[in-house]
Amino acid sequence: MAETRLSVRVDNNTKKQAEAVFTALGMNLSTGINVFLAQVARSQAIPFALELNADPFERRMRDAVTAKISTVTDAGKPVALFDNEQKRPYLEYADGRRVYDID
């Protein structure tokens, strides 16, 4: 596998905090960034919600469901999502089915 060098500017405090998390997970900063980039490439998405002025309740619900349910779609598992109209989480399967009763 060919490798390339990546140079990124980041706030020093953010870098130190991220390094501490990666160290606690048993990896260095470079490996942590590679894991992040691999997840972005695999899922074709940012692995967390990017939103403006999100309702705190909805955000907590989405985070709780996402932490509980795998969101790996390439393995045939459902994606955990949040229905803003119904104000509740659901699982969406590759065939389009939605399951709202998540326990």
Q: For 53, left (φ over 0), alpha (ψ -120 to 50), or beta? A: left
37-55 pLDDT, tens digit per residue, is 888 888 888 887 766 666 6
**pLDDT score of 96:** 77
| Domain boundary assignment for the chain | 1-47, 48-103
**pLDDT score of 39:** 87
Closest CA to 73 of 49, 51, 46, 92: 92
Ranges of residues in the chain whose predicted pLDDT is under 50: 69-74
